[in-house]
Amino acid sequence: MESPIDPRPRLAISNGDWVLVGARCPQCEYRLAAMGPWCPICHSSLDAKEYGPAGIVWASTVLRVPIGDYRPPRPVAYVDLDDGPRILCHLEGEEDAVPVGPGTRVELTGLSQQGDPMAKVTA
């Protein structure tokens, strides 16, 4: 049985924008995509912190083979949210998707039907 606990980054709407509900260390300012037991760098208690919606692509690819329940083509990217953590996002894209280059500006657009963080190119 698949765990009912979803480990993926949690997104929410804040002031009309999709944001990541992550965490931040008040001592060393380390940024996390999700709450943890404490800061993995300095072991201080963490604060909840929202990040996004804007960010920049660190790298991306388009998956051309099925993986698990996911069907191709499937554009995905590591996105560095502005002043935030790096998270894995699925990208809004068409059937003829080509990979988005590093440095491309994107923003969070919500969750996919399968519950994955989604982003789209903004510039």
Partner 1 sequence: MSGASTDAFIYGVGSSNFGKQPTTSVYELAWQACQEAFADAGTDRFDAAFVGTALGALGIAQRLLKGLGVVDGPIITVENACASGTTAYHEAYEAIRHGRYNKVLALGVEQMSTRIGGAMPPDPIDPEGRSGIVMLPRYAMMAQRYMAEYGVPMEDIAYVAVKNSHNGALNKRAQRARELTLDEVLGSRLVADPLTLFQSCSISDGAAAAVLGAGRDNPRDIAIKSSALVPGGLWDYRTDRLLGSEIIEHAAQAAFELAGCTIDDIDVLEVHDAFTIGEVIAIEALGLADPGAGPELGLSGQTAIGGRVPVNPSGGLLSRGHPLGATGLAQVAEIVWQLRGEANGRQVEDASLGLVETAGGGVSGIDGTGCVVTILSRS
Please, which residue, 61 or 122, has the CB nearer to partner 1? Answer: 61
Q: How far is the CB of 20 from partner 1 (least distance, A)?
A: 12
Question: Shortest approach of partner 1 to residue 98 CB, angstroms?
Answer: 7
- The residues binding partner 1 (CB under 8 A) are 2-3, 6-9, 31, 33-34, 40-41, 58-70, 74, 76-78, 80-81, 84-86, 88, 90, 98-99, 101-103, 114, 116-117
3 or 15: whose CB is closer to partner 1?
Answer: 3
| Distance of closest approach, residue 39 Cβ to partner 1, in angstroms | 11
Whose Cβ is closer to partner 1: residue 16's or residue 95's?
95
SS3 letters across the chain:
CCCCCCCCCCEEEECCEEEEEEEECCCCCCEECCCCCCCCCCCCCCEEEEECCEEEEEEEEEECCCECCECCCEEEEEEEECCCCEEEEEECCCCCCCCCCCCCEEEEEEECCCCCEEEEECC
Closest approach of Cβ 8 to partner 1, in Å?
5
CA distance 75 to 97: 7
